[in-house]
Structure 1
Amino acid sequence: MNHVLSGLAANASLPPELLDRLIAVADTETATHLVHRADLSHAQAIALASRAEEIAVSLAHAGMITAEDVDPAKQPYVALALLAEGVGRSEWAQAFARAPDVKHRVELAACPGLSPDVVEVLASDADVRVVAELALWTTSQTAARLAVHSHAEVRRAVAANEATPPAVLAALLTEAGMAPAQRCLVCDREETPFVHDPECPRLDCDLLPGDSCDGSHESTREQTHQLAIENPGTPDQALADFADHPSLYLRCLLAGRPNLPAAICARLVVDPHPEVRACLAEKRAMDGELIHALAFDREHEVRRRLAHNPVVPLDVLTHLASATRLSSTLLPRIASASPAELEELAASSIPAVRTLVAHRRDLPPALRDTLATDPDAKVLKSIAPHPGLSERLLRSMVDRHGVRVAAKVATNPDATPALLEDLARHRPVVQKAFREIARHRNASVPALLACLADPQARPIAASHAALPPPIIQELLTDPDERVAEAAAANPSLPLNVMWESMPPS
């Protein structure tokens, strides 16, 4: 892999003639970077597609090549990619449905908008992998038909398909009125009873750890239940029995469903395992009694997840902030708080509550500036990135709390070049600040030079457009390949150096 060429491939200042040259010499890694260029012409995309089929597949998904550009016999996966995007030719689908390579048939089965005759061929395929893939993506009518397939793997795929009718999903959970499946992937390959060893040494084995079959296809049936519980189309009445299921994983999946009936929630909120209650705490449809029970749960993770719930009342959130360690992010309920609510929270005597407000980036100037003078360092760390703060207030934060707030001050979009230079010279050194300074739009040359001395900030600084061209050129030969690639991607890299970096034709 040529890291300089990969960097050039991402360089926004690369001229069209040099882009042509780069396409001609690109290895697979460089070509992968080129695929994402917004200025790639159709002709250049065609040239790039000839480098490797996986590159052509990416271009097909990106809409850069069309059916007229592809020979399905020579580039089958590119043709299948176009079919997956809905822009392939119908005759391709008909041919791939009977292709000798099962991988082609599996790829086709996932494509949307297949004609009824193609669906029929795939649904009757001798390889269950093809039928299962079709079941995963097909229409409701075909999914309903495949739900009674004799192979458990097909039924499992039907349970995951969100187009599957609710009544069919309920039947897959209860198995009422359905004949038992005759086979599964485990008993297709092994004599039963069999449990797949998690440390299986066979290189050609694709069974999952713990896959098992004693004749009832139990691991596949459990996976079917998991997928049906996760499927939003599954009716609530089919889920009630799973509130007391011995499987912790199934109870967690049930608790995570968005609109569970209150009766099921009442059973799950007293579940002995905290992970079930934590999943329940993320639900957006909860009554006050349920919220109160979760807010005073003995487990920290339950309370933490409740704090991230958009419907949690502010009085409950205030309690959670004072009793729970919350992550340094903007909570959904704070994001939707009204100006009056923000004022009330910002006046709280509890620093953790004021910190919640400080995570907002659209605060009224007066409230923003008040929080910028807060005596608590955690509040200042949260408010420091807020746009509009004056240099005086930002410097005051650093003067009062030094290393505790310096890195966050460096993220402020309005930090001046002079302030960034001072942060880069701060003693004691603040390693995190170097990375923030290196990516800051206002970083000056002296600040960037200081960042280049830090191993973690060096690759970031090497891509900064404010670096002097001679320094960027020197970094192209840096022993750290990340630095060399970043320098090559720097839009301030001189054009003549770009040309000189090209290998001979």
Structure 2
Amino acid sequence: MDIQFRADGMPMDKKMRVVLAQREDAPQDVLRILASEEKPFVAGNPSCPVDVLIELASDSDDDVRLAVAGNPSCPSEVLADLARDSNADVRLVVVGRPFFPPWSFVGLEPYQRKHIRTLLASNPSCPSVVLAELAHDPDEEVRRYVARNPSRSPDSHADKVAADEKPFTSPALLERNAHSKDPDIRCDVANNPLTPPEVLAELSNDTCSGVRGRVAGNPSTPPEVLAKLLHDPNYFVYESACGNPSTPSEALAQVACDPDAWWYIASNPSVPPKTLLRLARSRRRARVRYDVARNPSAPYAALARLAKDKYYLVRRAAARSSTFPSDLLAELAHDSYKIVRLDVAENRSCPSHVLAMLVHDSYEEVRLAAAKHPSCPPEAIASLAVNRLLVPDDTSISTTELYRSPCSPLALNAGESLLGYLERLAVLHDKGALDDDEFAVAKRRLLSDVEKPLG
């Protein structure tokens, strides 16, 4: 990675150093340099060299040790030492790790905090000797976590605890509680995804609308029961059935004939694509279009329409969708609203060529979000520290010019002069943001790349 460093070997920009320290594709020699100044960020980077992690594990800063404890690349011997750290939060992170070495549990001092004992009891790496001790814990919740631990010994006291405490989710107990006189208990049964389908079908006829509503929202409810609940007179039941992804597509398409149902079915992935396209054309219901933009089953034609929606909140929903097509994301990367472009930069599905453009956005939040993205090209990040200085601080430049490719020449807006850009560079130089060499390079580049004004 070709990164611009100052004379002391560090990147020029403070925020740029933080971005580099967090990137997993950063070279180890770069991380070694950054470890002297950006310790917490380097300590949490899975690509951090092992010798640097060992050194940072004994740092006096609690935040640095906490980051080391949560690093998936942290060596087991370092974790064993951190399990006895003076800071309780560091110990919490260590004992809660699923691959914490079993031998490290043995010999730990007694834990006074219930939360730590609970993490130990639920950790699959916890050895049987520790689980056997926790099985006699005075707190019932800790004992229950021991009973549920998949690593417990078959003949341990934990199995005796499990035998004495029948799980609430057993089918026999659920069926018995379905006939309880207490409506709250029946609601709990109707809301439980482990409730047998025949019990849910019976509860769908309950006199309590709260029970029927929870049956309508349960993904384990049989489709034919959900289709029936779509005609329930209670609006809570009706709304829950409309939003249930297990509701049959044919039934949802019929419900879509009622415009009042659009509010409830727009986000349901089981709605047919043809119906979603119809909802995307709703002119007076921005919330309906917002939900369609978030729907993973929305067809391309609907998404292309929503990418041009007049309401920026609808475009935001589209920009944040992980299933939004890459070519439409590239279109939203030119949006006039900064917050929409920021959503595009933070989208995990954003393509690399779009991120390379957003690295040179006019707003710092967008640039940093694009630089932090794991798919952002390293060469685009390397040029960020210099190229960002050529973008004016005001908004006088047209939107088209602000989104030029980083490799294309810088164009002046109508009414802007070359002198104005040179004056901005001079101010940066006077403030110390640019040293003599950087100022000379930026000025030479500006003079050689500038085009004639537009218009």
Q: Distance in 2 between matches of 1:409 and 1:114?
A: 44
Q: Distance in 1 between matches of 2:240 and 2:16?
A: 37
TM-score after normalising by structure 1: 0.49
1:384 corresponding residue in structure 2? 293
Are the aligned partners of 2:262 and 2:288 in contact in 1 as well (CA < 8 Å)? yes
2:384 corresponding residue in structure 1? 469
Q: Distance in 1 between matches of 2:272 and 2:305?
A: 17
Q: Distance in 2 between matches of 1:326 and 1:432?
A: 35
| Structure 2 CA distance for partners of 1:60 and 1:278, relative to 1, 3 Å | same
1:235 corresponding residue in structure 2? 166
Task: Please say if 1:10 is aligned against 2:22.
Answer: yes
1:394 CA drift (Å)? 1.0
Q: Distance in 1 between matches of 2:212 and 2:300?
A: 33
1:309 CA drift (Å)? 1.1
CA deviations over 1:267-314 (Å, ceiling 9, x no partner): 15x43xxx65543431231332312327x51x5xx6664443112332
Are the aligned partners of 2:276 and 2:292 in contact in 1 as well (CA < 8 Å)? yes
Q: Paired residue for 2:258, among 350, 356, 363?
A: 350
1:15 CA drift (Å)? 3.3
Task: Please say if 1:23 is aligned against 2:35.
Answer: yes
Q: Distance in 2 between matches of 1:384 and 1:7?
A: 30
CA deviations over 1:336-386 (Å, ceiling 9, x no partner): 45xxx3244123223454555542558765554344335672443222245
Q: Distance in 1 between matches of 2:49 and 2:359?
A: 38
| Structure 2 CA distance for partners of 1:416 and 1:325, relative to 1, 3 Å | farther
CA deviations over 1:434-480 (Å, ceiling 9, x no partner): 65356464589699957x4xxxxx635542258982587569xx9xx
1:160 CA drift (Å)? 4.8
SS at match of 2:300: coil
Q: In structure 2, give the amino acid aligned to 1:138.
A: A
Task: Please say if 1:459 is aligned against 2:372.
Answer: no
Q: In structure 2, give the amino acid aligned to 1:311.
A: S
Are the aligned partners of 2:316 and 2:343 in contact in 1 as well (CA < 8 Å)? yes
Q: Distance in 2 between matches of 1:158 and 1:291?
A: 36
SS at match of 1:384: helix
Task: Say how many residue pairs are matched.
Answer: 335
1:21 CA drift (Å)? 1.0
Q: Distance in 2 between matches of 1:320 and 1:471?
A: 63
SS at match of 1:261: helix
1:372 corresponding residue in structure 2? 280
RMSD (Å) for aligned C-alpha atoms: 5.4
Are the aligned partners of 1:437 and 1:447 in contact in 2 as well (CA < 8 Å)? no
Q: Distance in 2 between matches of 1:472 and 1:321?
A: 62
User: What fraction of aligned residue pairs are identical, expressed as a percent?
Assistant: 17
2:200 corresponding residue in structure 1? 287
Task: Please say if 1:308 is aligned against 2:308.
Answer: no
Q: In structure 2, give the amino acid aligned to 1:345.
A: L
2:49 corresponding residue in structure 1? 41
Are the aligned partners of 2:306 and 2:315 in contact in 1 as well (CA < 8 Å)? no
Task: Please say if 1:424 is aligned against 2:339.
Answer: no
1:215 corresponding residue in structure 2? none
Q: Paired residue for 1:161, among 132, 143, 146?
A: 146
| Structure 2 CA distance for partners of 1:379 and 1:18, relative to 1, 3 Å | same
Q: Paired residue for 1:262, among 175, 184, 188?
A: 175
| Structure 2 CA distance for partners of 1:326 and 1:376, relative to 1, 3 Å | farther
Are the aligned partners of 2:320 and 2:344 in contact in 1 as well (CA < 8 Å)? yes
Q: Distance in 2 between matches of 1:168 and 1:328?
A: 38
Q: In structure 2, give the amino acid aligned to 1:46.
A: I
| Structure 2 CA distance for partners of 1:367 and 1:112, relative to 1, 3 Å | closer
Aligned runs of 1:168-179 on 2, under 5 Å? 168=161
Q: In structure 2, give the amino acid aligned to 1:158.
A: R
Are the aligned partners of 2:319 and 2:343 in contact in 1 as well (CA < 8 Å)? yes
Are the aligned partners of 1:283 and 1:309 in contact in 2 as well (CA < 8 Å)? yes
1:258 CA drift (Å)? 7.5
Q: Give ranges in structure 2 of 5+ residues lacking alignment.
A: 1-13, 149-156, 372-379, 394-406, 408-432, 435-455
Q: Paired residue for 1:138, among 119, 129, 132?
A: 132
Are the aligned partners of 1:281 and 1:309 in contact in 2 as well (CA < 8 Å)? yes
Q: Distance in 1 between matches of 2:307 and 2:312?
A: 13
Structure number with the bigger relative contact order (C-alpha 8 A, sep ≥ 6) is: 1
SS at match of 1:43: helix
2:429 corresponding residue in structure 1? none
Are the aligned partners of 2:279 and 2:288 in contact in 1 as well (CA < 8 Å)? yes
Q: Give ranges in structure 1 of 5+ residues lacking alignment.
A: 120-133, 148-152, 172-233, 237-253, 426-430, 453-457, 479-491, 493-499
Are the aligned partners of 2:289 and 2:306 in contact in 1 as well (CA < 8 Å)? no
1:18 CA drift (Å)? 1.7
| Structure 2 CA distance for partners of 1:409 and 1:447, relative to 1, 3 Å | farther
| Structure 2 CA distance for partners of 1:9 and 1:424, relative to 1, 3 Å | same
SS at match of 1:162: helix
Are the aligned partners of 1:374 and 1:380 in contact in 2 as well (CA < 8 Å)? yes
Q: In structure 1, give the amino acid aligned to 2:190.
A: A
